[in-house]
Structure 1
Amino acid sequence: MGLSLTQRHQRRVLASLEAAAASPAVPMAGGNAYELQLAQLLQDRLRLKQVQSNEGKAALKLQMLPAYEPYIQGVLEAGNGAQDEVVTTIMVWRIDAADYVGALDIAAYVLQHGLLMPDRFERSTGCLIAEEVAEAALKAQKTNGGFELSTLHRTMELTAEQDMPDEARAKLYLATGRATVAGLTLENPGQPGQVAAGIELLKRAIELNSSCGGKKDLDGAERLLKKIAPPEGS
């Protein structure tokens, strides 16, 4: 049973007050709102462990996420950057559930305040955000599915200054390059400079990791650019 409007409002306000009162960089522990959501998180993680399918886990997370929304809203509105396992975990769950806009809203807060991921995630915060979004995009692109270019651009902006392995950042450049030139043809060359922008992104991906798989995409984009470029002297 979902929360009523009154319950959602109360949880958001309480989370906002607790987050505003918490000190930066220290664990957000002891508050009623946080402890309530942390207990819910532990229960939900146990439920997820009973599901073996990744698709099944993602579908279950999508069902679970609304229960955390008021708390997340409150923290994002007033938080000072206290370490918060609920916030960082729900950020990842939103990516898993394909709620990329919601995930990146949390990511902006998490990166601004330098929140750390729980040990079980085994990657730095910036690396996890860049790599998870990139891998979701690359998977969609392999099956000829679309992926919002604006999501990839925002991910690049948020993680531009974050330290991570070159191979992880290459995935993000590759996915963004592919999305930039996706569907472009001689008859539909996109916006002025769009193909060239895609080429630069693909080149950067290959510079970072020569085995990233972007060489075929780069060749195709460069051939298209030659076709749409005006003749010299015109």
Structure 2
Amino acid sequence: MADSPAKRHLQRVEAEEAAKRAAGGNLMEGTPIYQQTLLQLATDRARLKQIQSSKAKGQLKAALLPTYDAYIEGVLAADAGGQDDVVSTLMLWNIDAGMYDAALDIAAYVLAHGLTMPDRFERTAGCVVAEEIGIVALNALKTGAAFDLGVLNRAVEVTKGHDMPDQVRARLLLARARSLLPPGSEETPPNAEDVGRAVEDLREAIRLHDSCGGKEDLKRAERLQKKFETSQSND
């Protein structure tokens, strides 16, 4: 696909018009812009299959994703909801590339309109979002790195009410709680609201999946909560 401004504008307009025609559960399949984009996606997937490293695959996806910006912008602007395997796939690619805000913009559309993942994926779209972001957040936090709390808040909210295994939801809530209460927070505690939210998340995570690994986190969070309560009662 050419990437001149004029070409991108045309792609965006074509994608928006095609998405509007596919509203009401019809497929994007068969429209010229969809077939063109699907062909590009197949070509890029073939390139990715030649790479074994997950990190290198994520880097290549980050380089490839701008090619699809005009298409995604058009479909999201139409807000029509026709089934679209390109959009569902690119939602996951954005997560893999570490472009979480862009992924969640797409996820909001995908989940609001009940789009499914392509047949090669066994998980629901809601499960994909919650699981992939939960895993990458927990992995980052385990190394002592920070993870964007705003991304976790959006992931929790956008996937709320969507079907997924209990352990997947538990993992995402655990990640948010740990982001709210990083190591050392007992010496320099966050605000009472964050502590309270962390306690709620951890209790729900443990309720959903007893072996989620959040029991020690909950003990620490409850100690902090009691400190806040004692401090307030003494004021």
TM-score with structure 1 setting the length = 0.94
Q: Output the aligned Cα RMSD.
A: 1.7
Aligned to 2:155: 155
**Residues in 2 aligned to 1:146 and 1:157: alpha-carbon distance in whole angstroms:** 20
The range that moved more, 43-52 or 14-23, is: 14-23
Q: Structure 1 pair 30/184, CA: closer, same or farther in 2 (3 Å)?
A: same
**Residues in 2 aligned to 1:91 and 1:233: alpha-carbon distance in whole angstroms:** 48
Is 1:142 aligned with 2:137? no
Deviation at 1:81, TM superposition (A): 1.0
| 8 Å CA contact retained: 2:192, 2:228 | no
Is 1:64 aligned with 2:64? yes
Q: Structure 1 pair 186/219, CA: closer, same or farther in 2 (3 Å)?
A: closer
The letter of the residue matching 1:169 is R
| 8 Å CA contact retained: 1:58, 1:97 | yes
**Residues in 1 aligned to 2:193 and 2:121: alpha-carbon distance in whole angstroms:** 39
How many residue pairs match? The answer is 234
SS in 1 for 2:128: helix
SS in 1 for 2:80: coil
| 8 Å CA contact retained: 1:186, 1:227 | no
Deviation at 1:8, TM superposition (A): 1.2
**Residues in 2 aligned to 1:10 and 1:121: alpha-carbon distance in whole angstroms:** 31
**Residues in 1 aligned to 2:233 and 2:153: alpha-carbon distance in whole angstroms:** 35
**Residues in 1 aligned to 2:233 and 2:42: alpha-carbon distance in whole angstroms:** 67
**Aligned-pair identity (%):** 48
The range that moved more, 165-174 or 185-194, is: 185-194
Unaligned runs of 5+ in 2: none
**Residues in 1 aligned to 2:233 and 2:157: alpha-carbon distance in whole angstroms:** 37
Matches within 5 A, 1:176-187: 176-182=176-182, 185-186=185-186
**Residues in 1 aligned to 2:120 and 2:227: alpha-carbon distance in whole angstroms:** 49
Is 1:118 aligned with 2:118? yes
TM-score with structure 2 setting the length = 0.93
Aligned to 1:95: 95
SS in 1 for 2:120: helix
Unaligned runs of 5+ in 1: none
1:157-199, CA deviations, whole angstroms, 9 ceiling, x for partnerless residues?
A: 1111111111111011101111111256355322232212211
| 8 Å CA contact retained: 1:26, 1:83 | yes
**Residues in 2 aligned to 1:32 and 1:124: alpha-carbon distance in whole angstroms:** 27
Deviation at 1:233, TM superposition (A): 5.2
SS in 2 for 1:120: coil
| 8 Å CA contact retained: 2:192, 2:225 | no
Deviation at 1:32, TM superposition (A): 1.6
